[in-house]
Amino acid sequence: MRWALLRGLVVAVAALVLWVVMDVADSSQHDLRDFDGHDVGRLETAMWRSYYEHHPVRLFVELTQLLRGQFHLPFWRSCVGAYHAARAAVVFQKGHSHADYERAMPDLERYYALIRRASTTDFDVRRVSRLELDWWIIHRERSRRRPEELYGALAELQSAIYQVPAEKFAEHARTRGDAMLIRDRQAESGGVSEEDWRRIGALLDESWVSLRGVVR
């Protein structure tokens, strides 16, 4: 009985290793424009709540779901991507200066490199990673920045990913940026209510549905 259990365990481990190797070696590519805007908006709302309410495990699971649904990454690569995205966010969150924020770049580049590998759309990984970090910084410095700067940075990010002029993403950027600003304002004035989260969720839904319409 003991040897049978051991053999079963060995077979299970071998199958898991084979799955991971095949997943990582998978060279198939998918169209980044093919995603469900409503689902992405729902997941981003959930991710924001998990992040700000300090639920790291839940956030990690939601990140993997987003990477599979929006960017079509296979299971294990979505886990690696979620790890790099979460690590970049933690490094950035602890920062107090631009030099500190720059430490998030290596993980952002690894994150976007995974997405680029699975994409039929070519984009510059380093430029996209830089634009991602740029809007994080603008958002962090929102007390001395204009909302239009945040909108512009969000539009430039999508322009670099999808190879479409930034002005086409004006609605996506404005509604996503407004959702961020509502969350920030309510958090600073006493807390984000369920009604606030519904408003944020509606804006994020509108934002990602708008982006889907532009890129398709």
- Chain segment 109-121, per-residue pLDDT in tens: 999 999 999 999 8
pLDDT surpassing 90 at residue 84: yes
How far is 65 from 80, CA to CA, in rounded Å?
Answer: 12
Please name the residue that has the structure tokens 């304002």. 185
Strand residues in the chain grouped as ranges (E): none
Q: What is the mean pLDDT of residues 18-45?
A: 75
Residue pLDDT, tens place only, 132-174: 999 999 999 999 999 999 999 999 999 999 999 999 999 999 9
pTM for the model stands at: 0.87
The structural domain count of the chain equals 1
How large a percentage of the chain has pLDDT more than 70? 87
Residue span of the structural domain in which 52 resides: 2-215
How far is 15 from 164, CA to CA, in rounded Å?
Answer: 42
Handedness of CA 48, 37, 158, 170 (dihedral sign): negative
Tokens of 38: 């409503």
pLDDT surpassing 60 at residue 10: no
Eight-class DSSP state of 104: G
